[in-house]
Amino acid sequence: MKLLKDIIYGIRIIKIKGNTNIAVENIAFDSREINNLSLFIAVKGVSLDGHDFISQAQNSGACAIICESLPEILNDEITYIKVLDSSKSLGIVASNFFDNPSEKLKLVGITGTNGKTTCATLLYDLYRLMGYKTGLISTVHIKILHKTIPSTHTTPNAIRINELLSQMVKEGCSYVFMEVSSHALDQNRVSGLSFDIGVYTNISRDHMDYHPTLNDYIGAKKKLFNSLKNNAVAIVNFDDPYGEEMVRDIIAKPLSYGLKGDFDFKGKIVENNISGLSIEIDGFEMTSRLIGEFNAYNLLVVFAVAKSLGEEALTVLTIISNLKAPDGRFEYIVSPSNVTAVIDYAHTPDALENVLKTLVSLKSDKEKIFTVFGCGGDRDKGKRPLMGEISSVYSDRVIVTSDNPRSEKPSEIIKEIVSGIPKSKSSKVLTVQDRRQAIKVACELAESGDVILIAGKGHEKYQIIRDEKLHFDDLETTIEIFKQIQQ
């Protein structure tokens, strides 16, 4: 229980109607979670406006309400706080309610189109192996020490984030590594958090169903770095064309990294093959089980963060060399007939191209690449033909299939993907709507030495078809099919 006046400290208040010296037991932005002694924050969302539910919150026992516009009829027993921005206020209120847990941790936020999950997970594994009590908030898992909690969003809502960070503080965590999505930044879900380090990986086309333009998407990412304090560090990929934009006019200390210039943290690929990478980082050479140039960048991020947090270079590199990629990130298995299947989350044009380029660089002239992928329904339609074209350029055979069609017809999504494939390459393309059957076709067509890329879902263990979430695991399915073919 906390006093309202303490919970609202730091938010931009326009007007207060009522008493702020009252007890609050619960905070919520969902009116269904309101009970006696609750503070309700009316937030304007993508599809719903919390202001439309103020009366419901009042009837459910709210003792106080934060909103951008006051209701016409006020209840004398309720305190109303009018603010400039409810979503920003929510983050600050949540931090205050949970005793500002981010200030008691070394909190590292990682943003960018690709690499967030891998970087955050590798850092969690590194710090755990170095003996620190560590937390992780990612697309794949939330971890508090060794305890795993299922993850529903790349970045949870502001109340949930602070609740998790508070649990991590109570469990004695010193370091927390967290993915920060563009949605979260745009919706102010990380407002009020105190990041010690912000990391920028890269930007390519993604979430154009949400962000009106690429500039809006870039602007959302930059909000992380604009929020950093003067004693924080911004670690930014300067090989990326938007890297310099991320650190423009920030007050935190900017540090650059990359493979193609003389940066604060610089890397160089010595060797890249199917068994892993050999990479030189700041004059030290190391080997890694991770594969591809994109993972060279991820390893460089991990090293840069650890060094910036004061760790010794050789210790960090020794441990990093033994780390494996997270589930569904270039995860591969080899069949009894020597066909390699790679399971990867690549669901953007840039990510798909990166993975395919890596596979092309690793194969011999006689070996073929089969690509099985689809695009999600009710999401950015503009990337579909782009991914179709990319798959046809770098693959010997393409099997276009279903991937979380949601409310859309899978056949229509497939048609939009295929529309981007040049006629000269159409002969290498098959369309198989059922994803299991598509994987099976690829496995049956592939011969010894060939590689099958199954892209788009990675760690996900479901297919969303209309309103149903059905169990489906690319890795599990592929293993089963390999066994069936061998019999």
- pLDDT tens-digit readout, 76-93: 999 999 999 999 999 999
pLDDT of the residue at 1: 87
- When mean pLDDT is compared across 147-161, 317-331, 383-397, 415-429, the lowest value belongs to 147-161
Q: Helices 86-97 and 158-170 meet at what angle, rounded to 10? A: 20
Query: Is pLDDT of 320 > 60?
Result: yes
Mean predicted confidence (pLDDT) in 265-292: 93
Euclidean distance between CA atoms 177 and 117, whole angstroms: 10
Q: What are phi and psi of 262, to 5 degrees?
A: -90, 85
Burial of 70 (0-12, 13-18, 19+ CB in 10 A): middle
pLDDT of the residue at 142: 96
Query: Is pLDDT of 213 > 90?
Result: no
Check: CB of residue 107 under 8 Å from CB of residue 194. yes
**21: CB partners within 8 A, 6+ apart:** 3, 4, 5
pTM, whole model, 2 decimals? 0.88
3-class secondary structure for 200-225?
Answer: ECCCCCCCCCCCCCHHHHHHHHHHHH
Mean predicted confidence (pLDDT) in 241-261: 97
Burial of 82 (0-12, 13-18, 19+ CB in 10 A): middle
Question: In the structure, what pLDDT confidence band is assigned to residue 210 with cuts at 50, 70 and 90?
Answer: low
Mean predicted confidence (pLDDT) in 174-201: 95
Q: Helices 410-418 and 383-394 meet at what angle, rounded to 10? A: 60
Domains by residue range for the chain, with CATH: 2-97 (3.40.1390.10), 101-320 (3.40.1190.10), 331-486 (3.90.190.20)
Q: What is the rounded average pLDDT for all residues in the chain?
A: 94
Which of 33-47, 157-171, 201-215 is the most confident on average? 157-171
Query: Is pLDDT of 46 > 90?
Result: no
CA 250 to chain centre: 23
Query: Is pLDDT of 206 > 80?
Result: no
- When mean pLDDT is compared across 209-218, 230-239, 317-326, the lowest value belongs to 209-218
- Percent of the chain beyond pLDDT 90? 86
pLDDT of the residue at 273: 85
Mean predicted confidence (pLDDT) in 218-231: 95
**294: CB partners within 8 A, 6+ apart:** 114, 115, 351, 354, 355, 358
- In eight-state DSSP terms, residue 101 is G
- Residue 426 CB coordination number (10 Å): 11
Strands 134-137 and 141-144: antiparallel
Mean predicted confidence (pLDDT) in 19-30: 97
- Residue 130 CB coordination number (10 Å): 15
Which single residue is written with the structure tokens 């200390």?
253
Handedness of CA 108, 109, 112, 115 (dihedral sign): positive
Which single residue is written with the structure tokens 């539910």?
53
pLDDT of the residue at 292: 92
pLDDT of the residue at 487: 63
- pLDDT tens-digit readout, 430-464: 999 999 999 999 999 999 999 999 999 998 999 99
Euclidean distance between CA atoms 214 and 202, whole angstroms: 13
- pLDDT tens-digit readout, 327-385: 888 898 999 999 999 999 999 998 899 899 999 988 888 999 999 999 999 999 999 99
**84-121 residues labelled b (16+ CB within 10 A) or e (exposed):** eebbbbbbbbbbbbbebbbeebbbbbbbbbbbbbbbbb
Check: CB of residue 401 under 8 Å from CB of residue 372. yes
**Residue length of the chain:** 487
pLDDT of the residue at 212: 65
Token readout for 451 is 């590689």
- pLDDT tens-digit readout, 469-486: 999 999 999 999 999 997
Say whether 5 sits in a helix, a strand or coil.
helix
* Residue, of 414 and 212, whose pLDDT is higher: 414
Element containing residue 483 per DSSP (H, E): helix 474-486
- In eight-state DSSP terms, residue 337 is T
**Closest Cα partner for 326 from 116, 160, 132, 127?**
116
Euclidean distance between CA atoms 346 and 453, whole angstroms: 10
pLDDT of the residue at 274: 80
Euclidean distance between CA atoms 278 and 282, whole angstroms: 13
Query: Is pLDDT of 208 > 50?
Result: no
Check: CB of residue 157 under 8 Å from CB of residue 57. no
End-to-end CA distance of the chain: 63
- Percent of the chain beyond pLDDT 70? 98
